[in-house]
């Protein structure tokens, strides 16, 4: 790719930061389930996927570092809440397993498509990372789909729980696709086709599984989309999460841990 212009660099950094922050925060949240998941085998699977997410965020912060930002630890462990660009969906506490599974399903479906789109990005470094992540996401979505279909068709309790988790998560998940100020640049430079395109593909993709799971998708037009995260306006849950995450690191950010 040719030398990036200033606006292109800004647009790229914004995009990468959004994705990386989502991955870090959701990976962090999902890791809270370690040793507490309803079934041992699932505990191990969920931890693997959480590790993948943290690993993805690290690789993306390394890319930001290449674009002139500080090193990954400094980005993740010293920024203030308002500098994070994650969506609200990933910030919520883990709740019960219905909520965490539904979030995992909705989010990872979007990630799988996002990385597929990014694997064709004109920004080669990002395309290469996306190709690798896409392979991992295939297993994450396979995992999520299997659970959704099973729980959506099992007991009265599991059906009711999954429907109410979907009702709660859906407006939050729409926040993943909050329009960004650089969408046009990203799309015209073939870096990323944009959140609107992604949302359309995502809706098609979740519908297939939600139908098999006998769950009804809330009406998108009347859903109160949870926007703001991409611009630094977060839920009440992010600050305590960051305080906890940086508790040891901030004892001495210059020390080697």
Which residues contact another protein by CB under 8 A? 28, 31-32, 34-44, 47-48, 50-51, 54-55, 58, 72-73, 76-77, 96-97, 150-151, 154-155, 157-158, 161, 241, 244-245, 247-249, 251-252, 255-257
Task: State the nearest-atom distance from the C-beta of 172 to another protein, in Å.
Answer: 21
DSSP secondary structure letters along 157-189? HHHHHHHHHHHHHHHHHHGGG---TTHHHHHHT
Task: State the nearest-atom distance from the C-beta of 157 to another protein, in Å.
Answer: 5
Task: State the nearest-atom distance from the C-beta of 138 to another protein, in Å.
Answer: 20
Task: State the nearest-atom distance from the C-beta of 2 to another protein, in Å.
Answer: 32
- Considering beta carbons, is residue 71 or 181 the nearer one to another protein? 71
- Considering beta carbons, is residue 44 or 142 the nearer one to another protein? 44
Q: Which residues of 204-215 are buried (b: 16+ CB within 10 A; e: fewer)?
A: ebbeebbeebeb
Task: State the nearest-atom distance from the C-beta of 1 to another protein, in Å.
Answer: 27
DSSP secondary structure letters along 188-202? HTTS---HHHHHHHH
- Considering beta carbons, is residue 11 or 148 the nearer one to another protein? 148
Distance from first CA to last CA of the chain, Å, rounded? 37
Beta strands in the chain (DSSP E): none
- Considering beta carbons, is residue 174 or 242 the nearer one to another protein? 242
Identify which of 94, 206, 200 has the alpha carbon closest to the alpha carbon of residue 145.
Answer: 206
- The C-alpha atoms of residue 36 and residue 75 are separated, in whole angstroms, by 29
Task: State the nearest-atom distance from the C-beta of 158 to another protein, in Å.
Answer: 4
Tell how far CA 51 is from the center of its chain. 13
- Considering beta carbons, is residue 47 or 205 the nearer one to another protein? 47
Could you tell me the two tokens for 186? 């990203």
Identify which of 108, 111, 100, 94 has the alpha carbon closest to the alpha carbon of residue 140.
Answer: 108
Task: State the nearest-atom distance from the C-beta of 204 to another protein, in Å.
Answer: 27
- The C-alpha atoms of residue 257 and residue 254 are separated, in whole angstroms, by 9
- Considering beta carbons, is residue 85 or 161 the nearer one to another protein? 161
- The C-alpha atoms of residue 148 and residue 231 are separated, in whole angstroms, by 31
- Considering beta carbons, is residue 139 or 249 the nearer one to another protein? 249
């Amino acid at each position: 790719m040719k030398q990036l212009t200033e606006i292109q660099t800004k647009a790229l950094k914004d995009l990468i930061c959004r994705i990386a922050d989502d991955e870090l925060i959701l990976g962090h949240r999902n890791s809270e389930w370690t040793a507490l998941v309803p079934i041992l085998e699932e505990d191990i699977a969920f931890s693997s996927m959480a590790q993948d997410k943290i690993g993805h965020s690290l690789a993306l912060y390394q890319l930001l570092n290449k674009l002139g930002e500080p090193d990954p630890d400094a980005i993740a462990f010293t920024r203030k809440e308002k500098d994070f660009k994650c969506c609200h969906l990933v910030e919520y506490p883990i709740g019960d397993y219905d909520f965490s599974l539904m979030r995992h399903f909705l989010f990872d479906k979007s990630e799988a498509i996002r990385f597929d789109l990014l694997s064709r990005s004109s920004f080669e470094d990002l395309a290469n990372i996306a190709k690798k992540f896409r392979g991992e996401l295939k297993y994450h979505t396979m995992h999520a789909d299997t659970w959704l279909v099973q729980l959506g068709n099992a007991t009265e309790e599991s059906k009711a729980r999954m429907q109410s988790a979907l009702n709660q998560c859906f407006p939050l998940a729409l926040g993943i696709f909050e329009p960004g100020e650089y969408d046009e640049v990203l799309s015209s430079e073939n870096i990323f086709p944009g959140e609107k395109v992604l949302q359309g593909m995502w809706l098609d993709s979740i519908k297939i599984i939600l139908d098999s799971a006998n769950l009804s998708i809330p009406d998108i037009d009347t859903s109160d989309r949870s926007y703001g995260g991409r611009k630094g306006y977060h839920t009440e849950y992010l600050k305590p999460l960051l305080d906890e995450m940086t508790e040891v690191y901030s004892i001495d950010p210059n020390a080697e841990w």
